[in-house]
A and B are shown apart, each in its own frame.
Chain A
Amino acid sequence: MTGRYDVLVVGAGPGGLEAARTAAAHGARVGVADMQPRSGGQVWRHDVRRGAPRAARAAAAALAHVDQHFGCQVIDGDRGELLLEHERGALRARFDRLILATGARELLLPFPGWTLPGVTGAGGLQALVKQGLPVDGKHAVVAGSGPLLLAAAATLHSHGARVLGIFEQASAQAVSAFARRLWRWPARAAQAARLRLALHGVDYHFAHVVSAAYGEDAVRSVAIEDHAGRQQRIDCDLLAVGYGLVPNVELAALLGCALEPLGAHQRVRVDALQRTTVANIYAAGEVCGIGGLQAARLEGAIAAHTALGDLRSAHRLHASRERARRFAEAVTKSFGLGPRVRALAGPDTIVCRCEDVPLSALQGFTESRAAKLATRCGMGACQGRICGAALAELFQFVPAPPRAPLFPARLGSLVTAPAGTRNGAGERAILPGEAPCAAPRK
């Protein structure tokens, strides 16, 4: 199973979908791939009980002439071909032009108790609830930083959870300054107002951080600290805590696209036409820096127009794109992380959750490779995506450059025959439901 595309889009969130739609409208042969089982990305994630937002349904419906590879994870690639893995095997997809709309992940920072079941990211819990995770009647605390907390709390609330409070680390002054500037982005102001309304009765606290989670086999309570260091304990079943977003730059970096700093993290460098530093590779949306839904859609369209040589249409969207990006800059400024959130972890707090590496084992290292060799930090299945971002935030460690496989992949997938050959490679020898468990269980 192979594909060959004029334009291949990686990521089916708002930016990727807009890129695919725009490219298809130009008459190009287009493919879109996403690791999630359905289109929408995170912000437009399908909710099993409520369906997807109208805009998301419209964007998905516009893909009639686009090859859709959902549940497909990019595990390797070069400048003309990607290797994708799915449940039943792997496939190679060739492309003339590639648009990276790989989005962002949550920044999750270590604190005592953050490994307990029931502690999730803020967007993480929202995603899980939309996947069908039951929260009806559960007591939830939402904490961390950024406007995503409101959205996460709204989703929890609407699915029957009792949201005991939203605890934002930024100060009330910083956030109200942000809110006062919202009028410049009317759509955003309306959205924020709707969210506040939905959360009627939920307290929104500022300058508060979650300093610990407690419980034996799952979270039972959390400690919240105010600006003066005063602690309160809150009993809860769920703690959703996220500190903003970090671009998913790994594929771009593997393909040789230049990155640039984004605070302690990195984003893909693009020009005004969404061109990366590699010919025929474009990037759109959060991977170019956290810009939100509107910016992502505009950039997806610009990238597709540019990729297909319609520079006039691309240029026409530029002013709107700049405006949407300015909003994101305002968010970053208002919700900038204070020093407290970098000092929550104690010596025994696990930093690398895959390999159980505590903070104390990492003291004294000045870069990620030496720390990795000595402690295995970042050597696990997440390949340092969680602890690498945390260490960048905590210690300014520069994340190690990504290597193939970009995500853990079946060994059989790594030998998938090149596109165009027909020797049966790609399909798994053993299909789901037929194999004995590869790992014996106790």
Chain B
Amino acid sequence: MTRVALCVNGRSLQVRAGISVAAALAQSGTATRRSPRGQPRAPLCGMGICFECRVCIDGEAHVRACLITVRDGMVVTTE
């Protein structure tokens, strides 16, 4: 099983290759975003519709983590 290394909020995370960023974040127990009132949120629909899994990936904010496959060296930041 190939593994890739991501950087999530400054911490290194080893995950199986081919999984989505949303799955990787769940593995590390990280909520994906904070709502305007500050509530922690995590993926809801799993298919790119709800936008609850928005994170910052490689410098681009508000990317849906459920649509992006992990890449080695990827930098992910959550709110």
Contact = CB atoms under 8 A, between A and B. Distances in A.
Interface of A: 35-37, 42, 48, 71, 73, 87, 105-106, 108, 115, 117-121, 123-128, 131-134, 217-218, 248, 350, 353-356, 380-382, 385-386, 408, 410, 430, 432-439, 441
A217 B31 CA distance: 9
A108 B47 contact: no
A353 B19 contact: no
B56 A437 contact: yes
Nearest to B70: A132
Given A120-B46, A386-B50, A433-B73, A131 B22 contact: yes
Interface in B27-79: 27, 31, 35-37, 39-52, 54, 56-62, 66-69, 73-75, 77, 79
Contact of B61 (A105, A125, A439): A439
B14 to A, nearest CB: 13
Interface of B: 15-16, 18-20, 22-24, 26-27, 31, 35-37, 39-52, 54, 56-62, 66-69, 73-75, 77, 79
Nearest to B19: A132
A439 B4 CA distance: 25
Nearest to B57: A432
Given A108-B44, A433-B58, A128 B23 contact: yes
Nearest to B48: A35
A127 B47 contact: yes
A131 B44 contact: no
A434 B44 contact: no
A107 B8 CA distance: 31
B22 A432 contact: no
Contact of B23 (A120, A126, A131, A248): A131
A273 to B, nearest CB: 29
A108 B41 contact: no
A125 B67 contact: no
A408 to B, nearest CB: 7
B18 to A, nearest CB: 5
Determine the main DSSP class of A at the interface with B. Answer: loop
A380 B37 CA distance: 14
Contacts of A115: 35, 39, 41
B73 to A, nearest CB: 7
Nearest to B52: A353
Given A381-B54, A438-B59, A42 B68 contact: no
A354 B19 contact: no
Given A121-B45, A433-B73, 14 more contacts: A35-B67, A48-B16, A71-B67, A73-B48, A117-B42, A124-B46, A127-B66, A131-B22, A133-B26, A354-B51, A355-B36, A386-B44, A437-B59, A437-B77
A386 B56 contact: no
B3 to A, nearest CB: 12
Contact of B46 (A87, A127, A432): A127
Nearest to A45: B47
A248 B48 CA distance: 12
Given A127-B46, A435-B58, A439-B61, A37 B68 contact: yes
B44 to A, nearest CB: 6
Contacts of B41: 115, 117, 353
Given A115-B35, A381-B54, A133 B23 contact: yes
A132 B46 contact: no
B23 A134 contact: yes
B45 A36 contact: no
A123 B16 contact: no
Contact of A353 (B35, B58, B74): B35
